[in-house]
Each structure stands twice: as structure tokens, then as C-alpha cells.
């Protein structure tokens, strides 16, 4: 087997592994192996091919570190119910812990609440969690 075939095989294997473990760790390595496989037929010395592979790995990981991974981190922001935790809401309907009645408003939506203490309309409260389709609140 020739060097370029080995490099191409490893590169394709790393790309396939990325499909099963979406971590963006094997994808850049697979790309670097494939680029090196394209260059290796023009180079006779194995040491130069390995040096090119090293440089390609560094370049591709640097590009991913600067361009791809910051975008992936941004897209992992909390949304829906988990995105409300820690936010401040305003009481729109008086909250009575005995009857379980009461609503708060956050992001233009009204949410039924779970609370151990009463709150008057207009009070600001902090959301500390969720319980089904209700939000758990405490005084701000």
C-alpha cells in the first residue's frame, strides 16, 4: 500500500467516526489526513509527509478553534424552561400559596407559579426552577 492510500483511509475513518461521536474532534483530524493524502504522491520522503501531516493538523485545529468551536459554544445556550431560570419576572396575578393560584409574566408570556409565600401584583420575583409547566419563584 502506498502512503497516500493509508493517509486517505485514516482520514475517511476519522470522518466516519465523527458521524457517531459528534464532538468536532475527529473531523479536523480527518480533514488534515485527507489534505496530506493529496500532497503525499508528490513527496518521496516519509519524514516530509509526516511533517506535512503535523503542520496540516495544527492548521486545521487552529482554524476550528478560531471559527467553528466558538459558534458551537454559542448555540448551546439555554432555551425554553431552562432558559428562564435565574431571570426576573413580574407578578401579574396575585400569588396565593394555599390555593396555588397566581401568574408571573416573562418574555411576554404568562406562567403559572409554585411559591411558598404570597406575592402581590407588580412584585418582582426571581425564577429558580420549573415544576412541570409551572415556574418556581422566590422574592427578588
| Residue 75, pLDDT score | 55
Give the tens place of pLDDT for each residue, 86-139.
Answer: 889 999 999 888 877 889 998 888 888 888 889 999 999 999 988 888 888 898
Last residue within a domain, chosen from 74, 94, 125? 74
Whether residues 18 and 61 share a domain: the answer is yes
Please list, in sequence order, all residues whose beta carbon lies within 8 angstroms of the beta carbon of residue 37, skipping any fewer than 6 positions away: 4, 5, 7, 8, 11
For residue 65, give its domain range: 3-74
* CB 124 within 8 Å of CB 89: yes
| Residue 129, pLDDT score | 87
Whether residues 32 and 90 share a domain: the answer is no
Assess whether pLDDT exceeds 80 at residue 72. no
Task: Please state the domain count of the chain.
Answer: 2
**What CATH number has the domain bearing residue 113?**
2.40.50.140
| Mean of pLDDT values over 14-21 | 92
| Residue 140, pLDDT score | 82
Confidence of residue 77 (pLDDT cuts 50, 70, 90): low
* CB 34 within 8 Å of CB 12: yes
pTM above 0.85, yes or no: no
Amino acid at each position: 500500500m502506498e502512503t497516500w492510500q493509508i493517509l486517505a483511509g485514516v482520514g475517511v475513518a476519522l470522518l466516519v467516526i465523527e458521524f457517531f461521536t459528534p464532538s468536532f474532534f475527529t473531523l479536523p483530524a480527518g480533514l488534515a489526513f485527507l489534505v496530506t493524502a493529496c500532497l503525499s504522491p508528490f513527496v518521496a520522503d516519509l519524514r516530509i509527509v509526516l511533517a506535512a501531516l503535523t503542520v496540516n493538523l495544527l492548521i486545521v485545529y487552529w482554524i476550528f478553534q478560531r471559527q467553528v468551536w466558538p459558534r458551537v459554544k454559542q448555540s448551546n445556550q439555554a432555551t425554553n424552561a431552562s432558559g428562564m431560570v435565574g431571570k426576573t419576572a413580574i407578578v401579574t396575578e396575585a400569588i396565593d400559596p394555599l390555593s396555588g393560584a397566581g401568574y408571573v409574566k416573562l418574555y411576554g408570556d404568562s406562567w403559572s407559579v409554585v411559591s411558598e409565600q404570597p406575592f402581590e401584583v407588580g412584585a418582582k420575583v426571581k425564577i429558580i426552577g420549573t415544576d412541570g409547566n409551572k415556574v418556581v419563584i422566590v422574592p427578588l
